[in-house]
Structure 1
Amino acid sequence: MNEIKNIKCSEVTQNELKFAVYHTSDFLPFMQKLNIPHRHNYYMILLNEKNTGSQLIDFKESPIEPLSVTCMYNGQIHQWLDFDKIEGYILVFESDFFALRYQNYQLSEFSFLTYRHKQPYLKIAVEKFERLKSIAIWMLNEYKTNEADYEKSLRSLLNLLLIDLNRLFEPIPKNTEFSQSLQLVHHFEELIDKHYKQKHFVKEYASIMYIRPNYLNSVCNDVVNIAAGELIRNRILLEAKRLLIHEQKTVAEIAYELGFEDNSYFGRFFKKYENITPDAFKRKFINTSQFYQI
């Protein structure tokens, strides 16, 4: 088993802008190179207009259908499976590119770009796809012509695209009280993503946020219908599965990396929530050939 490759944004954008937009025909060489499991350090949005294909995103095969949108966030493990015939547009970017323009408006505001959405994928109506496509084409023109202030234009167009996508993924309007609660959950998720290897308990995050654990748990249940503790566990388990499948590390080494000093406790924790031991999970996916087309 080969170790997972970590792909930097600059390897795909081939620039220091931390952003690129491609027609899929121009992105094909990257797809051919990345048809093995790899970990993104960037966000990716695929707007597929015609034909079908498939890809692997964090252990699950995801279809690529006509008039569909697929969004991937930083840190996910990805593998292109069937991609030769798809036609559409691909955006790749780092959070820094967006944050330079919108300092107080982070990408975590868009829930479809967080780990809570395990596979944000939508098939959409023609008219809605055409609107997204028009923004992508505008971006592509700005990107290629490289005129004055094109970076500002690209950031503004990216923001427009993300707002449109958010309307599709989160169609219900939010009142002010709900929006404030949602921001709190987003902040909690950001802290989890930063500290999940060291902090495993709700009270630890509540302390950082200067709120009571019970209140944090209540808000999470109200906003996303998931308990605060479950959000933490889901992030730990997701990384555990990524490491078990794609890294040449023992279960004991993975347990230590994830903040479990006791290897047997990690084993019990994993089996409790996945109904399978870490070793059995690893064997199961090593024997699944689709994960290792190397």
Structure 2
Amino acid sequence: MLNQDIRTFTLPQISTHPVLRGELVILTVSEFFRKAAEGSHYKNKFYTVLMFSKGEGSLQVDHQLFEIRPNSFFFINYHQAYSFTGIEACEGHVILFTKSFYNYVYTGNRIIKSDTALADLSPCITGLASEKRKDLWQSFEALKKEYSSQNSLFKEIACLQLKVMMLKYIRNTRPVHPVQEAPDRKKELADRFSALANLHFRELKCTSEYAEKLNITPNYLNAVIRERLDMTAGQIIKNRVILEAERLLLHTTLSIAEIAYDLGFSDRSHFGKYFKAEKKYSPNEYRKKESRPVDNP
């Protein structure tokens, strides 16, 4: 496997819950760090929320480096590459959950019912006012209590408690805009395209190939993506390729040729030109810039 330096976790590897194995896991930070060793690189096949009450260190998520502070909160999406360094005296909790568990309880509100609300969530919250920190921690404690209870309907209530907590996370990172309740075919099409690009970016790099899968014309696909996302379909595809390239350059020791092969390029030279056109640096130059200042949201 080319991604030899990145370990991929699945929830069954981590889970200790007798009922929610493979769906929802709550661990202490210490328990999590016994599985995710400092200095190693990981990807998860689930969502991860880290809540630090104490401690310090750094967390790198893809190409962003964040400082761990007391009362800092982090969100790691599916397949994001991450690693920890300089960890000292950390305390807190980690919540691991799947898309299927988040969507377990249906509601009529689009933000609440669907995990799409988590698609572009900020990876970090720091500097919250005391009242807002307390509110987030209280939501977590309610979730943890239900997770541990196994009373009647505990799974449904745990799902709803998780939704409440994630909505509060969202509220503390960006404003929630009104959502149209009527069906929106263009939004559904944009979502389907984004999902396809995430699955097939290695082998399919042309807008026309995605348009064919969606049974529409390339021109119509571009028009919809421009309207919904303010960029072309081709740029969405390229962004996904570049994101994976950054992950491999920063989180593995693979050679440039191996990375080019993994990303579906015919040779190293083609990949180098593709990457430099977007990032203004060659892959080697970009890798040498690995050490970055901490990003403070």
Please give the TM-score of this superposition, normalised by the length of structure 2.
0.79
Structure 1 residue 136, shift from structure 2 partner: 0.8
Q: Which residue of 2 aligns with 1:168?
A: 172
Greater Cα shift, 46-55 or 233-242: 46-55
1:56 to 60, 81, 104: 60
Structure 1 residue 80, shift from structure 2 partner: 1.6
Q: Which amino acid aligns with 2:204?
A: K
What is the alpha-carbon root mean square deviation over aligned residues? 3.3
Structure 1 residue 207, shift from structure 2 partner: 3.3
Q: Which residue of 1 aligns with 2:12?
A: 10
Taking structure 1 as reference, are residues 171 and 122 closer, same or farther at Cα in structure 2, changes over 3 Å only? farther
In 1, the alpha carbon distance for the partners of 2:161 and 2:41 equals: 30
Q: Which amino acid aligns with 1:281?
A: Y
In 1, the alpha carbon distance for the partners of 2:126 and 2:223 equals: 29
Q: Which amino acid aligns with 1:110?
A: L
Which structure 1 segments of 5+ residues have no match?
A: none
Structure 1 residue 48, shift from structure 2 partner: 3.2
Tell me the SS of whatever aligns to 2:172.
helix
Q: Which residue of 2 aligns with 1:107?
A: 115
Q: Which residue of 2 aligns with 1:154?
A: 158
2:244 to 234, 239, 245: 239
Greater Cα shift, 8-17 or 187-196: 8-17
| Deviation per residue, 1:5-58 (Å, 9 max, x gap) | 222223333452331123435545345x34422222221112334454321111
| Deviation per residue, 1:162-189 (Å, 9 max, x gap) | 2232333341423428993555433332
Tell me the SS of whatever aligns to 2:204.
coil
More helix per residue: 1
Q: Give me the identity figure in percent.
A: 25
Q: Confirm or deny: 8 A CA contact 1:71 1:112 kept in the other structure.
A: no
2:131 to 108, 127, 130: 127
Tell me the SS of whatever aligns to 1:176.
coil
Please give the TM-score of this superposition, normalised by the length of structure 1.
0.79
Q: Which amino acid aligns with 1:5?
A: R
Structure 1 residue 120, shift from structure 2 partner: 4.7
In 2, the alpha carbon distance for the partners of 1:150 and 1:35 equals: 37
In 1, the alpha carbon distance for the partners of 2:239 and 2:173 equals: 21
Q: Confirm or deny: 8 A CA contact 1:67 1:125 kept in the other structure.
A: no
Matched, 1:275 2:280: yes
Written as runs of structure 1 = structure 2, the 5 A alignment for 1:171-210 is 171-176=175-180, 180=184, 182-210=187-215
